[in-house]
Amino acid sequence: MDVTRRALEDLVPSFTGTVMQVPPMVSALKVGGRRLHEIAREGGEVERRPRPVRIHEIEILDVGPGPYPDVSFRVRCGKGTYVRTLAD
């Protein structure tokens, strides 16, 4: 099934508002006094709890061709949001 602009636009409402997000290991967030990216660089991983973040708006700008297209989008969000994590 190809990913279409319409399909992505239909999904946008489920990503807006207050959503729970797990911080990525490659982040500056501290756990036990150490930054996650330092732990990740050493090959480690720790449990990260989901945190509430606020997504005000997502605008789909462009969708490339094919079943796994490159997608350009603009996000208006609150502090602490990891935009890369939205794409996962």
CB 67 within 8 A of CB 2: yes
Q: How far apart are CA 76 and CA 58, in angstroms?
A: 7
Q: How far apart are CA 81 and CA 87, in angstroms?
A: 12
Q: How far apart are CA 74 and CA 60, in angstroms?
A: 7
- What percentage of the chain has pLDDT greater than the value 70? 99
- Residue 79 pLDDT > 70: yes
Predicted model pTM = 0.78
Question: What CATH number does the domain containing 47 carry?
Answer: 3.30.2350.10
Full domain range(s) for residue 16: 5-87
Stretch 23-27: mean pLDDT: 92
pLDDT digits (tens, 9 = 90+) for 26-37: 999 998 899 999
Stretch 13-38: mean pLDDT: 93
Q: At CB < 8 A and 24+ separation, what contacts does 13-16 make?
A: 15/55, 15/58, 15/86, 16/55, 16/56, 16/57, 16/58
pLDDT digits (tens, 9 = 90+) for 58-71: 999 999 988 889 99
Q: How many separate domains does the chain show?
A: 1
